[in-house]
Structure 1
């Protein structure tokens, strides 16, 4: 009977690292408070990292770690999918727990962020009707509340993890010929 190795160890390890980096970004952004009107590139870079670069990096690392260190140089497409989605979900859950605690410790975080969004929206769209601005700011406020932000974050990360895992899996998969028998 052949021993099967779970991809969970690689997924959890790299998911924790990914989540820790997203937490660090949140803390740094909160401490430095970059002005979005003067430094709009900062949020673009953070979003690029969180939604593209870091997921590709950590899913690739986790798949290759499992393949080389835990599975004798082999990894199936399905294992890549499991690892990738797991990395993304572990990172999102870790970040979400921190976000919940962070918003409790710093209750001004969400109102300050919403006020900043309103200020930027007014500056970028000076002709926007007041009722449309209020509706926009209200939606931002709702989506920043942990009760809505946490499940959305987990689902979005799982989806992004799935898409990236499909791509990474197509590249790194190497089926074990002995397993086919």
Structure 2
């Protein structure tokens, strides 16, 4: 009997785990009032975790488990890509839904963040004219809108998943022999 677990189905629990970690991380940073713009180390750690460490570890773990437990020791690059992109897109979807709900519950969050970003922009470049500042803040406001930020986040994490999956796929790839 052939196993019906697809790479994407196998990735489901890893994607949910990653999504929950992203949500908990956001909530923790908000609850502790940690500003990654003021605390550079927090920003560096968050970015490394969210874009490098967690995606790579989860994709590697999921692909390796799929290879050993489901695919009889074989793993193709396309299977790894399905696993990795599924994990990161699912995580981004979970985070996106949370962000939309968070925005509905705490609408003042965006305004506070916008003011902080504006202060930082003026502090970093005091020679900016009022018109330049207004134009740049217009773009910031557009990308702070959850209905713009969420699709952008999903696409960004899909690309991150693709890159990590290619790396993991090259490491773990083992094709089935053509003739047995």
Normalising to structure 2: TM-score of the pair?
A: 0.92
Matches of 1:166 and 1:151, distance apart in 2: 23
Please say which of residues 89-98 and 25-34 is displaced more in the overlay: 25-34
Q: How does 1:91-170 map to 2 (within 5 A)?
A: 91-170=91-170
TM-score of the superposed pair, with normalisation by structure 1:
0.92
Cα distance between partner residues in 2 of 1:19 and 1:147: 18
The SS at the match of 2:23 is: helix
Contact 1:80 1:169 in 2 (8 A): yes
Contact (CA 8 Å) 2:99, 2:146: kept in 1 or not? yes
| TM-fit CA distance, 1:34 | 2.1
Q: Give the distance between the partners of 2:36 and 2:62, measured in 1 at CA.
A: 34
1:36 is displaced (CA, Å) by: 4.5
Name structure 1 gaps, 5 residues minimum. Answer: none
Indicate the larger mover: 2-11 or 140-149.
2-11
Mapped to 2, the partners of 1:23 and 1:64 lie a distance apart of: 26
How many residues align? The count is 179
SS in structure 2 of the partner of residue 41 of structure 1: helix
